Chains A and B, each alone.
Chain A
Amino acid sequence: MPTDTAHPLHGLAWDIGVAKPDPTIVVDDMVRSFGGLTAVAVEHLEFQRGCITGLIGPNGAGKTTLFNLLTGFDQPNTGQWSYDGRPLGRLKPHQVARLGVVRTFQLTKALSRLTVLENMKLGAQGQTGERFLSALLPGWKSQEREIEARAMDLLGRFKLDAKAQDFAGTLSGGQRKLLEMARALMSEPKVVMLDEPMAGVNPALTQSLLEHVKNLRKEGMTVIFVEHDMDVVRDISDWVVVMAAGRVIAEGPPESISQNKAVVDAYLGAHHDAPLTVEEEEIVLAEAEVAIAAQQAEDADLPTEPTRGL
């Protein structure tokens, strides 16, 4: 995107929760905690339609949890979120998918004992033959042929057409990532959410995956993806959202992120570049000694402690 001065997100403030010109998914006050751990606490976040938004952050930042919440695989403790103005709260995963928000998984979910082509055909929506009674009548055959043609076309674009009749379980890790993305596209989604699409994919395949992701944007889809590789993020994102400890700590165009102090701190720790001085080291040592002494005193106390409750 070197020449996109007319980019819809151009000139937007680099503030957390900034309003986008044409948001598709909007999140408000979403909190999800597991026991004492707050996995996600997002005050306000908007995703621009037709753009590629990268979601980054250190491990355990809550990226996948946010994905799960947005797609109905998990429910938040509080909060609202909507897609095209339509609230998504309490919807089941398949209901979210039917609205056109389709996700992939960090650990690929190829359906091993189905062929690659069957995997693809499963993705198609509104199949008459998927209803019990219609399945018994031959009426679904013509639709099936259409779906198969579309699946073969997509497989060709993803260079998997030669594998169409193989079991999906025989594919390599990278090919499974490709298959999962192609299968998601079979549902003709409007929003595609990719959870680490490049993880475990060899560099040669990464390039072609990146092209596929860019093509999704060309076709007017909104892409939200989680990724750890900063080169990839810089290369394809229009906008980057950074999470740490469940919160959004920064958002902005990719070039803004690497200079952001909060982001650098989140990844590397606040004092990563300041070596300990001799004085600081002595303070740390003294604190440790005090702690050890206290522990020993406590241990010595134990036998003389009066027995209670007898």
Chain B
Amino acid sequence: MSEFLDILALSVKSLVSQSAVFFALMGVGLNLHFGFTGLLNFGQIGFALLGGYGVAISVSMWGLPLLVGVLIGVVASFVLALLLGLPTLRLRADYLAIVTIAAAEILRLAFRSTPATPVTGATRGLSGFGQDFYSLAPFETQRTYEFLGSTWTGREIWACLIGWILVTLFSLLIWQLMRSPWGRVLKSIREDEDAVRSLGKNVYSYKMQSLILGGVIAGFGGMILVLATGSANPDQFQNANTFLAYAALILGGTARVLGPVVGSMILWFIIAFSDAGLAALIRNGLIPDEILSAPDVANIRFILVGIGLMLLLIFRPQGIFGDRREIVLDAH
């Protein structure tokens, strides 16, 4: 019984963990792109990479203050959105998808390449840029705290706290934007670009604004990720994360302000629960070693997540917060 409670406590911790924060921020940006504007961005992780490395490089390589690093991270993801959007947003949606997926991979490979070592640290990555960030915490970050039945380091608490504040601020921003006429134009673009053009709206400019804002939000996600983990490493920014963020978004419900946030929390709860649960079952001999051994668990959990998502799409395609009528209309 106590083992079960431990597993539960661990899973509850992952509800609000740094991973949940990171994917919530990625998802909030993706929701703006995909859910509200209909833009297919398959390289969201590229924006997070630039945000994260923006902070890491500025602080640890160039010795700049944290705030300047944050600014550089924002500008970098802003510029990436411009570069990707300028040639593709006049074209059909699939062009953006292709270009973003390629750009994310190019960025990761460029940052981990040997010639980039003096700036990015290549495969070893960068570390030691978090002191400014953690010195801002109003509590002791060197010790550990007992919280909701699990153990947290002070650093974890501070990073997650700032992360959730950002999630809240960006969600409020999206909420306000989406109830304004600006958001109405975005949703209309998702439905039919030509109709919006014929009514005198500059569709290209709105799509660009959406791409930039969503990209910058993902950039903040990347910053939280590198600050929470204490290192910026190219392999943290594999493009599989973009699709995991899509999974979180669809789980929570697209085009709903809270969809990606709750989706990300539940996704990480499920991952942590199945992870710890399977490990416990193997440890106690309830699953024989021949079928599943402890090292397999890391892979099995994503298979379980995949099956769960398939079931979700069959039985509740609108996600947790979505409106079923919209899915029905979409099918036409």
List residues of chain A with CB under 8 Å of any chain B CB: 71, 73, 92-95, 97-98, 102-105, 109-114, 118-119, 121-123, 125, 127-132, 134-136, 140, 144, 167, 169-170, 180, 183-184, 186-187
Residue of A nearest to B178 (CB): A135
Inter-chain contact A167/B325, CB cutoff 8 Å: yes
Residues of B within 8 A of A102 (CB): 198-200
- In B184-225, the 8 Å CB interface with A consists of 184-185, 187-188, 190-192, 194-203, 209
Chain A residues within 8 Å of B191, by CB:
111-114
Q: Would you call B197 and A169 a contact (CB within 8 A)?
A: no
B131 proximal to A (CB < 8 A)? no
Q: How far is the CA of A94 from the CA of B206 in the complex (A)?
A: 12
Complex-state Cα separation, A203 to B329, whole angstroms: 26
Asked if B180 and A129 make an inter-chain contact with CB atoms under 8 angstroms apart, the answer reads: yes
Nearest A residue to B329 by beta-carbon distance? A169
Question: Is B329 within 8 A of A113, CB to CB?
Answer: yes
Say whether B202 contacts A94, CB under 8 Å.
Answer: yes
**Interface pair B198/A135, CB less than 8 Å apart:** no
Residues of A within 8 A of B332 (CB): 112, 169
Choose one: B177, B181, B187, B201; the contact of A113 (CB below 8 Å).
B187
B residues contacting A by CB (< 8 A) are 173, 176-177, 180-185, 187-188, 190-192, 194-203, 209, 325-326, 329-330, 332
- Can you report 26 A-B residue pairs in the complex whose CB atoms are below 8 A from each other? A71-B198, A94-B200, A97-B198, A102-B198, A103-B198, A105-B194, A109-B194, A110-B195, A112-B191, A112-B332, A113-B187, A113-B326, A114-B191, A119-B188, A122-B184, A122-B196, A122-B201, A129-B182, A130-B184, A132-B177, A132-B182, A135-B180, A135-B182, A140-B180, A169-B332, A187-B199
Q: Which residues does chain B contribute within 8 Å of A186, judged by CB atoms?
A: 199
Q: Within the assembled complex, what's the spacing in Å between the Cα atoms of A184 and B199?
A: 7
Q: Are A130 and B198 in contact (CB under 8 A)?
A: no
Which among A71, A119, A186 has the greatest number of chain B C-beta atoms within 10 A?
A: A119
- Interface class of chain B by DSSP: helix
Q: Is the CB of B181 within 8 A of A125?
A: no
How far, in angstroms, from A254 to B16 measured CA to CA in the complex? 72
Q: Please, which residues of chain B bring their CB within 8 A of the CB of A92?
A: 197, 202
What is the chain A residue whose CB lies nearest that of B196?
A122
Evaluate whether A167 and B183 lie within 8 angstroms (CB atoms) in the complex, with A94-B203, A97-B199 already known: no
Cβ contacts under 8 Å, A136 to chain B: 173, 176-177, 180
Q: Does the CB pair B200–A187 fall under 8 Å?
A: yes
Closest to B330 in A: A113
> Which residue on B lies nearest to A170, using beta carbons?
B329
Q: Are B181 and A127 in contact (CB under 8 A)?
A: yes
CA distance A129 to B181 in the complex (A): 5
Additional pairs, 8, CB under 8 Å, beyond known A119-B188, A123-B199: A73-B197, A95-B200, A103-B198, A112-B330, A118-B187, A130-B201, A135-B177, A180-B195
Q: How far does the alpha carbon of A119 sit from the alpha carbon of B209 in the complex, in Å? A: 21
Of the candidates B192, B325, B329, which one forms a contact with A109 in the assembled complex, judged by CB atoms under 8 Å apart?
Answer: B192
| Bound complex: CA A219 to CA B234 (Å) | 64
**In contact, A121 and B177 (Cβ under 8 angstroms):** no
Chain B contacts for A187, CB-based, 8 A: 199-200
Specify which chain A residues have a CB less than 8 angstroms from the CB of B187 in the assembled complex: 111, 113-114, 118
CA distance in complex: A130, B198 (Å):
16
List of B residues within 8 angstroms of A118 by Cβ: 184, 187-188
Kindly report which residue of chain B lies nearest to residue A147, judged by CB atoms.
B181
B195 to chain A, nearest CB (A): 4
Whether B198 and A122, one on each chain, are in contact in the complex, defined by CB atoms closer than 8 angstroms, is no
A278–B323 CA distance with the chains assembled, in angstroms? 69
Distance in Å from the Cβ of A225 to the closest Cβ of chain B?
Answer: 15
Could you say which residues of chain A place their CB within 8 Å of the CB of B199?
A: 94, 97, 102, 122-123, 183-184, 186-187
Q: Which of B177, B182, B199 has the most CB of A within 10 A?
A: B199
CB-nearest residue of chain B to A128: B181
Shortest Cβ distance from residue B75 to the other chain A in the assembled complex, whole angstroms:
18
Contacts of B182 in A (CB 8 A): 129-132, 134-135
Of A71, A130, A167, the contact of B181 (CB 8 Å cutoff):
A130
| Cα A112 to Cα B190 with chains together (Å) | 10
